[in-house]
């Protein structure tokens, strides 16, 4: 028994060591929107109202190098401001901020400044509230340390239904742990399991008419874990509504 407990503790410890991501320093951060989050609504990940959906202001847009064509949407990061040798706009004594990737910071091939989101730069464009938590507003741009962390979400994975009688799309959000989704399958009460395609952001689609059927989803996150949400959507579902799963990753 003691041996078993020892073995389990060892495994838990190993797991903790493996999952503790190292801090990376090859990125900078800026901010967008205003302090109340103006500009943080609909974005390239397909999430809707970030406040209603539980992401709030704890969000970031990612440059092309990090966005991974939307596959990074939903992943979570810890970020701290990185002091320079002879200057610092970092705020003193603040711990890391935690943010979810909810948008894309597009490249700017125009004249002048502000090319930080262009490939190959790794860049986090934070909500103003998050930026000013770690750095002075007047800095505008600061170097950072960042690392990927597990996402902590309240409640179950949520599914927002979109589309029309011929074409069906679902936004998968409020995803815990790995946070970003790499595959979605759907099963109507009249169908078998069908593989959906990533349309844009975290919107997944498939042709066909699912009206009047109760729906189940099988969601796979970027760490390879798959959860089944059995009949998470009742047969009287409607486009535009969200349905919450009983569990999360
Ligand atoms: C961060 O900003 C510094 C200073 O402007 C720049 O030299 C560096 O290339 C930037 N790094 C990234 C990853 O964008
Ligand atoms: C999930 O997000 C991470 C962090 O941005 C990224 O490295 C990874 O490629 C994403 N996973 C998939 C399956 O795209
Ligand atoms: C930091 O030091 C470098 C090298 O001495 C200098 O070129 C640069 O102007 C300094 N930056 C600031 C903000 O003082
Ligand atoms: C940045 O470095 C300076 C000088 O070493 C130090 O006084 C200051 O506390 C540092 N700031 C942060 C936020 O670590």
In the prediction, which pLDDT does 27 show?
97
In the prediction, which pLDDT does 11 show?
53
- Residue-level pLDDT, tens digit, the chain, 249 residues: 556 555 556 555 545 544 568 999 999 999 987 776 655 556 899 998 888 899 999 999 999 999 999 999 999 999 999 998 887 899 999 989 999 999 999 999 988 778 999 999 999 999 999 999 999 999 999 999 999 999 999 999 999 999 999 999 999 999 999 999 999 999 999 999 999 999 999 999 999 999 999 999 999 999 999 999 999 999 999 999 999 999 999
Distance between CA atoms of residues 203 and 123, nearest Å:
23
In the prediction, which pLDDT does 12 show?
52
Asked, as a colleague might, if the bond just before 120 is cis with ω within 30 of 0, I would say yes
Distance between CA atoms of residues 184 and 182, nearest Å:
7
Mutate to test the pocket of ligand 2, among 27, 61, 64, 72 (most ligand atoms within 8 A of CB): 72
In the prediction, which pLDDT does 32 show?
87
Distance from residue 19's CA to the centre of ligand 4 (Å): 29
Q: Are 28 and 145 in contact (CB under 8 A)?
A: no
Q: Is 90 in the pocket of ligand 4 (CB under 6 A)?
A: yes
Tell me: domain 158-244, CATH 2.60.40.760, correct? yes
Ligand nearest to the CA of 135: 4
| Residue 12 parent element (H or E) | helix 2-19
Q: Give CA angle at 83 (16, 91), nearest 5°.
A: 90
Distance from residue 71's CA to the centre of ligand 2 (Å): 6
Each domain of the chain, given as residue ranges in start order, spans 23-149, 158-244
Q: Are 38 and 45 in contact (CB under 8 A)?
A: no
Q: Give CA angle at 95 (150, 27), nearest 5°.
A: 70
Q: Is 92 in the pocket of ligand 4 (CB under 6 A)?
A: yes
In the prediction, which pLDDT does 214 show?
98
Distance from residue 83's CA to the centre of ligand 4 (Å): 6
Distance between CA atoms of residues 89 and 220, nearest Å:
40
End-to-end Cα, the chain, rounded Å? 30
In the prediction, which pLDDT does 61 show?
95
**DSSP per position, 71-106:** TTTT-EEEEEE---SS---BPTT---EEEEEEEE--
Q: Give CA angle at 117 (141, 98), nearest 5°.
A: 60
Q: What number does the ligand 2 atom closest to the CA of 72 have?
A: 2
CA atoms 241, 249, 201, 224: torsion sign = negative
The pTM score is 0.87
In the prediction, which pLDDT does 112 show?
77
In the prediction, which pLDDT does 33 show?
77
Would you state the torsion angle of the CA atoms of residues 161, 53, 225, 231, taken in this order, to the nearest 10 degrees? -40
Tokens of 44: 């390239």
Kindly list the protein residues whose Cβ atom lies closer than 6 A to any atom of ligand 1.
26-28, 116, 121-123, 143
Compute the half-sphere exposure of residue 84: CA atoms within 13 Å on the CB side of its CA: 10
Ligand nearest to the CA of 87: 3
Tell me: domain 23-149, CATH 2.40.40.10, correct? yes
């Amino acid at each position: 028994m003691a041996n078993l407990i020892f073995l389990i503790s060892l495994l838990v410890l190993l797991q903790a060591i493996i999952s503790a991501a190292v801090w990376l320093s090859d990125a900078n951060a800026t901010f967008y929107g205003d302090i109340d989050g103006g500009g943080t609504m609909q974005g390239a990940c397909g999430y809707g109202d970030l406040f209603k959906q539980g992401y709030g202001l704890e969000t970031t847009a990612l440059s092309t190098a990090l966005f991974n064509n939307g596959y990074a949407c939903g992943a979570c990061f810890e970020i701290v401001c990185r002091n320079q040798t002879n200057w610092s706009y970092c705020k003193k004594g603040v711990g890391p901020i935690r943010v979810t990737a909810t948008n894309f910071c597009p490249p700017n091939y125009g004249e002048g400044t502000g090319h930080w989101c262009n490939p190959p730069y790794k860049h986090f464009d934070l909500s103003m509230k998050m930026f000013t938590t770690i750095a002075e507003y007047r800095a505008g741009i600061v170097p950072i340390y960042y690392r990927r962390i597990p996402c902590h979400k309240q409640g179950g994975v949520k599914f927002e239904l979109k589309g029309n009688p011929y074409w069906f799309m679902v936004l998968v959000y409020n995803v815990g742990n790995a946070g970003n989704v790499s595959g979605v399958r759907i099963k109507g009460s009249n169908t078998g399991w069908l593989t959906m395609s990533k349309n844009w952001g975290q919107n997944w689609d498939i042709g066909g008419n699912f009206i009047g059927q109760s729906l189940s989803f099988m969601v796979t996150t970027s760490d390879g874990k798959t959860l089944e949400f059995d009949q998470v959507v009742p047969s009287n579902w409607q486009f535009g509504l969200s349905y919450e799963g009983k569990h999360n990753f």
